[in-house]
Structure 1
Amino acid sequence: MKYTQLGSSDLKVSRICMGCMGFGDAHHGQHTWTIDEAHSREIIRRGLELGANFFDTAISYQSGTSEQYLGRALRDFAKREEVVVATKFLPRTNEEIAAGVSGQEHIRRLLEKSLQNLGMDHVDLYIYHMWDYQTPLYDILDGLNQMVREGKTRYIGISNCFAWQLCKANALAEREGFAKFVSVQSHYNLIFREEEREMAPFCREENIAMTPYSSLAGGRLSKHPGETSKRLQEDSYAQLKYSGMADQDAPIIQRVAELAERHGVSMTEVSLAWLLTKVTAPVVGATKLHHIEGAAKAVDLELTAEECAYLEEPYIPHPLVGVMAQNTPAAAKESHVWSTGDQKI
């Protein structure tokens, strides 16, 4: 495993971040393909053995059970000071807004609940999961800054935003003397490269770490055409994100398979090796041991500039999909039914 600094923070993280959305009680959340605690612990332990020290979860993943599984495993298998733990919070619910719960109080409640789930007194990175158009940005940043000052999180990150939103937020934080976002977690992989337009150059300029999710496109970049899995069959959200451009993406996936055969490695290794030339640490979900093992191997695979160009050449612009397609005031208000741990989202 290799390690690097997370943006301008002093956090030293593994180049592979273990994504924990696949861990959690399948009967208590929106996903049916998640794995139980025994299997989650096995994968977390293997990740630690391979040198992964960076773990990403969220309070919304399977009603908080992902946080619970991760916290118990890390207590048993690692020293707290040797791991970097990130979790995320969602916007205020319409019920909270109607009840007059402020953005600051919302953040405090959710972080304290996440810490309870994790069995920890702090997280290393607390991530604003998606933009909240119904809460003043000042309240969000003030609430996060309070959590940093109280030692409940060391740093803050953001996810699912546009570059202008991250720029606006950090400018306001700098003006007010608040903690600034040190990382961004967005949708970025070999078949969805829209972040290269504005987000990637902005992050390079500002030394903001990119830790993208969906780094293997829900498994599409790790499987030969025709191969399938439980997640590919049951993950309706991933189908929403990728089915519309499947024909256009197929030549890229074919080139991944071709390079994997040439190098004698897995498609996972090729796809992640490419992404590792672009970002700080991709978030890689794992529901089987070979998933994390393949991700760890990718760190040692070096693609040439010509090979990277070969993988990139067939790409055509993609429309925004998933939560980013709803990143507007009207859409956000209409779909404002996020989970705080025990509600549906």
Structure 2
Amino acid sequence: MADGDGGLSAMGPGGSGLSRKAILEQADASLRRLGTDYIDVYYIHRFDPETPVEETMAALHSLVLAGKVRYLGASSMWAWQFAKLQHAAVLGGWTTFRAMQDQYNVLKREEERDMIPMCLDQGVGLTPYSPLAKGRAARPWGEQTARSSSDRAAVAFDRDTDRPVVDAVQAVAEARQVPMAQVALAWVLSKPAVSCPIVGATKPHHLVDAVAALDLTLTDGEIADLEGRYAPQDNFWW
């Protein structure tokens, strides 16, 4: 899996955006860095309003035809933008996206409104990032870390309306006698559209919790407890 960060930007001299030039140059650069002949899943990162969607999808299709990319993925955009890209691919007879990388966790569920139903309808698998909500869903509300006090993105998960959800995760974890991270990951894994969450492990026990979450099946009652505390919010995190 490779990710063209920022719409294929910041990874070389090819520039940003989803133009044919940027896509082809950055795909080749990714292959050189990875030391491989092909990429299993190649993600574009966000939507490029400056480039026609036909140019983007035709360029991505050419990578598939050349054998450099097996499958296509997209990340962090509005559902209507994703639909526009997919529609252009269908009309052009080009390769469509098979994966969507968006933020989805027990504290950020706004993708359930449009993006996730669309992915379920079109057979697109979710590979959500931040499944632990920047670590907020993995520790009791009063417990802070170095990152939680300095990371601007992590601070966005310290809203008063988030506390009831974190408290619910803690309650389920204590009842199950497992770490909170396992409960939060098990909730993400329980969703039918989710293929695999992206886990950012920085310590060995993070991987242990991630693997253990595969065997943790939440009851309908536990899921209802976790979801019943959620407060709707704006899509502001990307």
Q: Same fold (TM over 0.5)?
A: yes
Task: Output one character per residue of 1:244-269: Cα deviation in whole Å (capped at 9) or x when no partner.
Answer: xx110001101101110101111011
Aligned to 1:260: 173
Amino acid at match of 1:307: E
Residue 97 of structure 1 deviates from its aligned partner by 7.7
CA contact (8 A) 1:210 1:280 kept: yes
Note closer, same or farther for the CA distance 1:283–1:92 as it changes in structure 2 (3 Å cut): closer
The TM-score, its normalising length taken from structure 2, stands at 0.91
Aligned to 1:121: 37
CA contact (8 A) 2:104 2:128 kept: yes
Q: 2:204 aligns with which of 279, 285, 289?
A: 289
CA contact (8 A) 1:122 1:152 kept: yes
Q: 1:270 aligns with which of 183, 193, 205?
A: 183
Residue 202 of structure 1 deviates from its aligned partner by 1.3
Q: 1:201 aligns with which of 117, 126, 136?
A: 117
Q: How far apart in 2 are the matches of 1:290 and 1:102?
A: 38
Task: Output one character per residue of 1:50-81: Cα deviation in whole Å (capped at 9) or x when no partner.
Answer: xxxxxxxxxxxxxxxxxxxxxxxxxxxxxxxx
Amino acid at match of 2:180: M
Structure 1: where are the runs of 5+ without partners? 1-84, 324-345
Aligned with 2:4: secondary structure? strand
Residue 130 of structure 1 deviates from its aligned partner by 0.7
Does residue 1:186 correspond to 2:102, yes or no?
A: yes
CA contact (8 A) 1:92 1:103 kept: no
Equivalent residue runs for 1:93-242 within 5 Å: 103-239=19-155, 241-242=156-157
Note closer, same or farther for the CA distance 1:173–1:225 as it changes in structure 2 (3 Å cut): same
Note closer, same or farther for the CA distance 1:121–1:230 as it changes in structure 2 (3 Å cut): farther
Note closer, same or farther for the CA distance 1:89–1:225 as it changes in structure 2 (3 Å cut): closer
Residue 320 of structure 1 deviates from its aligned partner by 1.8
The TM-score, its normalising length taken from structure 1, stands at 0.64
- Larger relative contact order (CA 8 Å, sep ≥ 6): 1
Q: How far apart in 2 are the matches of 1:266 and 1:167?
A: 38
CA contact (8 A) 1:215 1:282 kept: yes
Amino acid at match of 2:197: P
Equivalent residue runs for 1:56-71 within 5 Å: none
CA contact (8 A) 1:125 1:157 kept: yes
Amino acid at match of 1:90: G
Q: How far apart in 2 are the matches of 1:287 and 1:229?
A: 13
Residue 180 of structure 1 deviates from its aligned partner by 0.3
Residue 234 of structure 1 deviates from its aligned partner by 3.2
Instruction: Count matched residues.
Output: 233
Structure 2: where are the runs of 5+ without partners? none
Aligned with 2:157: secondary structure? helix
Note closer, same or farther for the CA distance 1:272–1:308 as it changes in structure 2 (3 Å cut): same
Q: How far apart in 2 are the matches of 1:143 and 1:191?
A: 36
Residue 319 of structure 1 deviates from its aligned partner by 1.5
Residue 214 of structure 1 deviates from its aligned partner by 1.1
Q: How far apart in 2 are the matches of 1:188 and 1:215?
A: 6
Q: How far apart in 2 are the matches of 1:117 and 1:108?
A: 14
Aligned with 2:7: secondary structure? coil
Amino acid at match of 1:290: H
Q: How far apart in 2 are the matches of 1:296 and 1:231?
A: 23
Backbone CA RMSD of aligned residues: 2.0
Note closer, same or farther for the CA distance 1:102–1:250 as it changes in structure 2 (3 Å cut): closer
Residue 228 of structure 1 deviates from its aligned partner by 2.6
